Structure 1
Amino acid sequence: MEEEKTTISPEKEKSIKGRFSGVRKSRWIRFSIACIIYIAFAIWLDNYYILPGLLVLLDIYITRFIPWTFWKKSKNKATRKTMEWVDAILYALVAVYLINTFFFQNYKIPSSSLEKTLLVGDYLFVSKLSFGPRVPNTPLSFPLAQHTMPVINTKSYIEWPQWPYHRLKGLGQVERNDIVVFNFPAGDTVALKVQNPDYYTLCYNEGWETVNNNKAVFGDIVYRPVDRRENYVKRCIGMPGDNFEIRNNQVYIDGKPLKNPKEMQLNYYVMTSSPDIRLGESNFRELNVSEDDRFLVSGDRGYDNVLEYLGFPRNADMGFNPVYRLPLTQEALNKLKSYKFITKIVPEPGDFGGDTYPLGYYKKWTRADYGPVWIPERGAVLKLTQDNLPIYERVIRNYEGNDLQVKEDGKIYINGKETDTYQFKMNYYMMLGDNRDNSADSRSWGFVPEDHIVGKPLFVWLSIDKDRGWFDGRIRFDRFFKCVTKD
């Protein structure tokens, strides 16, 4: 039996040839440039499954079997105008999505955890290329919306498909003392009505059943993929494989003290010499203390026991002279000591910082005296014990996706197999804020996995001081294009 042969009519063959022969040279040039860029992008992604997209480019630039710009031939002026806007908006959204995902994004400093290195109101240019951009876990998402659409308050992403972690080649790697933008590790599970403190701390303080069964107070409990979690920015202090420790606010790496950031701040309680003497606006500006950080402790009688515990004396009226709680750099502290009306300065104790990671750990670490703790490194094998398991439990279960169980006899099972060792799949980091006593960081929620790393801030492109008026320094012109450096 003879095979049937597919034939093309002379008219159709002529039509196909005509589509190629009638193309201007300029369109072939644009098509060639687009193909080169597209192929280079596929190689960078290490994903050759997208190469069939070249056929779409061929049709857009050359053959035009699909009428991509059909609306331009419409006789209806309103239709043409509307479609021009739709075309421009779609083009812009695609461009913004690609740029924001693979090249750079803007980030605004929302809190004081890195002051005075970075200030509240700084707008940062964050490079994705510095450490290599991640292929998105949730590729179907709306540009510029991290996890929630504004106004309509719905998810800004579709959970399917979910792609595994893959980082493209970048210009470098995370180094010690780099300022790093990353997704909040403890933000995988969120109580929508109470997002601070994080879900795990809420469950620790309030109880799992209370948090999960009281929607009126805590709202829905939702899970967020890695790339849809809140963006945080901190300084990378601990590197994979380091033995990390803090003693009296001094960081030690492998037993050696690490040089502190130049603008590092600590909290101090400061008393004036008389009930009538207070720090004024000029003093606060000289000390560079923002309005949000000026706390008159003695103005709240609930703090009387705290002031007595810190050793502040009562005055003749059995009250306290004005006592302020202020975050200060070493330079600001030296200025404050020169004020003749300041009679007592007490550093804030580390145990005032609340619970540390891992929650409920029997060693009772504080933010000022933390560790020692070993930071996981990709490929390293750790001997698991009842003593160190609480430190690495979240890493093994949450970040690396294993089923971890501890039986009543104390034996450890990972993915159903008894074991007393674990080999780590990723690198991890310890991230701290320069405003050490006002920073929720790795001391509170633990290690930052490498798949959470977003990028590196390069410079400040805008800075707004909300404490100042528009004609009184509200725009910090001196910070425009200020480079974000390690020092």
Structure 2
Amino acid sequence: MSWKFWQRNKSAEPKKKKTKTREWTDAIIFAVVAATIIRVFFIEAYTIPSGSMERSLLIGDFLFVSKVNYGARIPMTPVAFPFAHHTMPLTGTKAYWDGVQWKYRRLPGFQHIKRNDVVVFNFPEGDTVALDAQDDNYYQMLLRGETRTQIYANHTIVSRPVDKRENFIKRCIAIAGDTVSMENGLASVNGKKVPLEPTGWFYYTIEFKTSDINMRLFQDMGFKTAETNVPTIYQFEGTPAMIAELKKSDYVKSITENVAVKGDFDKAIFPHDKNRGWNLDNYGPIIVPKKGWTVKMDSVTMPLYERSIRIYEGNKLEKVGNDWILNGKKATEYTFKMDYYWMMGDNRHQSADSRYWGFVPEDHIVGKALFIWMSFDSEGSWFSKIRWNRIFKGIH
């Protein structure tokens, strides 16, 4: 039998039909691969777990976040279980293997991050986590007075690579190279005051002319209220627009915005430096690092930039006497390798943001929030729980 004759007869043979099991397996593999590519490089769904962005974004909002606007980040921890972020849903074990780590790379995007963009990013202080603690932020636990020995003895501590740290969503107040500050609760960027977004919440002390007040009326207006020891005085939480309407009420005697006193040091506020005396409503000015910017390394600047130089940019840094030793050599200045951003929540008095943990490096940026595709309230029947007016609402 000739080779050509054998080949013709071989090609004429009918192909073996796939079994149902094989067809389903191929379909599932294709679906997983396709969905993973879409999720990593194009668009991904997220949910809002906290009230830090109220009322711009509400707890129970489900968002689509674009990876292409700023450029998709190439996976830095490529070996991971599909559709799981850092933890397996049932077993609670790691959903990734950090034995393989790729350096930070990003595909070209359509735009750069702009001021007031709503951005999803990996939590900068999420590199070390206390798994079994209600507040799993290892660094805040240290600030509260717990020693490293106590924390490691009482909790399960894990380290996470950049792209497997918890996802946060905030508004970008300042971009790389900007100077940001805050005075009496009002932020400024490059010397220009930046009022809170109209949806942002503040705390107020409201004094009424009489104690005969129906709080239900104000709660129906959208306020969150709390009593005090004085029958005519209440604590209100609401937006400036809501307060403007409240001022029209004949029952209101006075309205005072609750802000921290300037100079009243709060050790939880970045950079946790008592000499600066900063707090939630009064801090700065701070220059947000920009790629190529050179900063002098001294006692004034290093409390602000030491973590960025050491942790985010991966340098060996130590202080010997009054000198800084950078990668084994004495250094008096440092040039940044990445851009950084300053993120804040619209609900500023209930937001863990850059005021607490500082700058967000560019390699932590996940994507830009686009629109809400579904929203659920925690109260009511399953049908009434859906916030119909928020479905397909854009994020601004």
TM-score by length of 1: 0.75
The residue aligned with 1:155 is: 94
Letter in 2 for 1:373: I
Matched, 1:98 2:34: no
Question: Which stretch shows the higher mean deviation, 442-451 or 86-95?
Answer: 86-95
Letter in 1 for 2:83: L
Letter in 2 for 1:386: S
Letter in 2 for 1:117: S
Q: Distance in 1 between matches of 2:367 and 2:275?
A: 35
The residue aligned with 2:298 is: 385
Contact kept, 8 Å, 1:116 with 1:435, in 2: the verdict is: yes
Correspondence list, 1:26-37, <5 A:
none
1:285 paired residue among 201, 211, 220: 220
Count of residue pairs brought into register by the alignment: 393
Q: Distance in 1 between matches of 2:188 and 2:6?
A: 77
The residue aligned with 1:432 is: 344
Q: Distance in 1 between matches of 2:267 and 2:213?
A: 31
Q: Distance in 2 between matches of 1:195 and 1:99?
A: 33
Correspondence list, 1:472-483, <5 A:
473-483=384-394
User: Does the C-alpha gap of structure 1 residues 277 and 116 become closer, same or farther in structure 2, counting only changes over 3 Å?
Assistant: same
Percentage of pairs with the same residue:
41
Matched, 1:321 2:234: no
1:201 paired residue among 128, 140, 159: 140
Q: The residue matched to 1:236 in structure 2 has which SS?
A: strand
Matched, 1:165 2:104: yes
Letter in 2 for 1:454: V
Shift of 1:347: 1.7
1:236 paired residue among 156, 172, 177: 172
Shift of 1:133: 0.5
Shift of 1:274: 4.9
Q: The residue matched to 1:350 in structure 2 has which SS?
A: coil
Q: Distance in 2 between matches of 1:14 and 1:451?
A: 58
Contact kept, 8 Å, 2:267 with 2:273, in 1: the verdict is: no
User: Does the C-alpha gap of structure 1 residues 243 and 268 become closer, same or farther in structure 2, counting only changes over 3 Å?
Assistant: same
Matched, 1:442 2:373: no
Question: Which stretch shows the higher mean deviation, 114-123 or 384-393?
Answer: 114-123
1:298-328: CA deviations, max 9, x gaps?
3xxxxxxxxxxxxxxxxxxxx4216543331
Larger Rg: 1
Matched, 1:345 2:255: yes
The residue aligned with 1:136 is: 75
Matched, 1:265 2:201: yes
Q: The residue matched to 2:215 in structure 1 has which SS?
A: coil
Shift of 1:276: 5.6
Question: Which stretch shows the higher mean deviation, 223-232 or 203-212?
Answer: 203-212
Contact kept, 8 Å, 1:203 with 1:211, in 2: the verdict is: no
2:285 paired residue among 358, 372, 391: 372
Q: Distance in 1 between matches of 2:145 and 2:377?
A: 37
Q: Distance in 2 between matches of 1:354 and 1:443?
A: 11
The residue aligned with 2:25 is: 86
User: Does the C-alpha gap of structure 1 residues 322 and 105 become closer, same or farther in structure 2, counting only changes over 3 Å?
Assistant: farther
Shift of 1:82: 3.9
Question: Which stretch shows the higher mean deviation, 269-278 or 355-364?
Answer: 269-278
Q: Distance in 1 between matches of 2:5 and 2:172?
A: 63
Q: The residue matched to 2:129 in structure 1 has which SS?
A: strand
Contact kept, 8 Å, 1:146 with 1:228, in 2: the verdict is: yes
Matched, 1:416 2:295: no
Q: Distance in 2 between matches of 1:404 and 1:322?
A: 56
1:32-83: CA deviations, max 9, x gaps?
xxxxxxxxxxxxxxxxxxxxxxxxxxxxxxxx9xxxxx8x55xxxxxx4444
Shift of 1:108: 0.8
User: Does the C-alpha gap of structure 1 residues 12 and 188 become closer, same or farther in structure 2, counting only changes over 3 Å?
Assistant: farther
Q: The residue matched to 2:119 in structure 1 has which SS?
A: strand
Q: The residue matched to 1:136 in structure 2 has which SS?
A: coil
Stretches of structure 2 lacking an aligned partner (at least 5 in a row): none
User: Does the C-alpha gap of structure 1 residues 380 and 267 become closer, same or farther in structure 2, counting only changes over 3 Å?
Assistant: same
Q: Distance in 2 between matches of 1:432 and 1:187?
A: 17
Q: The residue matched to 2:125 in structure 1 has which SS?
A: helix
User: Does the C-alpha gap of structure 1 residues 277 and 191 become closer, same or farther in structure 2, counting only changes over 3 Å?
Assistant: same
More strand by share: 2
Shift of 1:246: 1.0
Stretches of structure 1 lacking an aligned partner (at least 5 in a row): 1-9, 24-63, 65-69, 74-79, 299-318
More helix by share: 1
How large is the Cα RMSD of the aligned pairs? 2.7
Q: Distance in 1 between matches of 2:334 and 2:234?
A: 48
The residue aligned with 1:56 is: none
